[in-house]
Amino acid sequence: MALRFAIALALWVAMTGSATADDKDIHEDEVKAAFVYNFAKFVEWPTGKINGTINLCILGESPLGFSALKAIDGRTAQDKPLVTKLLSKSDDLKGCHIVFIAASERSKMAQLLKAAHQQQALTVSDMNGFTQGGGAIEMVKTDDKIRFDINLLAAKEAGLVISSRLLSLALTVYDENNRPKQ
């Protein structure tokens, strides 16, 4: 029941661009997981990059947690099932299409972003300053709502195209005319 509500909320979020994190029937982690699910729907990977599944790889120990993201496992985005994988520190990012980087990995963020971009993966986090540090999408909490910033320069570096529909919902979009301050 909670997952259905999360999916319904995700559809609403996709249309409005924000969600209240204090809704009684849904936890903030589920809202963020719903955002990640919707990001998969509005990103275009290079031709041939995605074959059978869209692989969501999770790096580090995250307050968002594996269980919230695992709840979207098997959902369909772009006619492909989403598969959630928890990576260990020794795993590489090969085969990852979306990489969620937890705040516990802040000290390695630059090298992780470089590796993810080389794999043409969408980088997502709820880590403060993620988009300014070169990540593609950062989920932020503002006025008790979950919103997101997009670093279009980072997405382009990874060879990704983000839908104008998703860009129009972002709180901040960093691009050639609005570069992130590092």
Structure tokens at 114: 């470089």
| Helical segments of the chain, H only | 2-16, 28-41, 65-70, 109-118, 152-157, 164-169
Structure tokens at 53: 């599944």
Structure tokens at 173: 């979009």
Total Cβ atoms within 10 A of residue 18: 18
Distance CA 125, CA 164 (A): 20
Structure tokens at 157: 């570096």
Structure tokens at 166: 């998703």
CATH number of 2-174: 3.40.50
pLDDT (tens, 9 = 90+) of the chain, 182 residues, equals 444 444 444 444 544 455 554 444 358 888 889 999 999 999 999 988 888 999 999 888 765 556 777 788 889 999 999 999 888 776 789 999 999 998 889 999 999 999 999 999 999 999 999 999 999 999 999 888 999 999 999 999 999 999 999 999 999 999 888 777 76
| Cα 88 from chain centre | 19
77 and 43 Cβ atoms separated by less than 8 Å: no
Distance CA 141, CA 158 (A): 26
Report pLDDT for 160: 97
pLDDT, tens digit, for every residue of 38-74?
999 999 999 888 889 999 998 887 655 567 777 888 8
Task: Return the H-helix or E-strand segment holding 125.
Answer: strand 122-125
Structure tokens at 88: 């260990």
Total Cβ atoms within 10 A of residue 167: 14
Distance CA 182, CA 173 (A): 15
In a 10 Å sphere around its CB, with 0-12 CB exposed, 13-18 middle and 19+ buried, how is residue 162 labelled? buried
Domain ranges of the chain: 2-174
Report pLDDT for 51: 86
Report pLDDT for 25: 39
The radius of gyration of the chain's CA atoms, rounded to the nearest angstrom, is 15
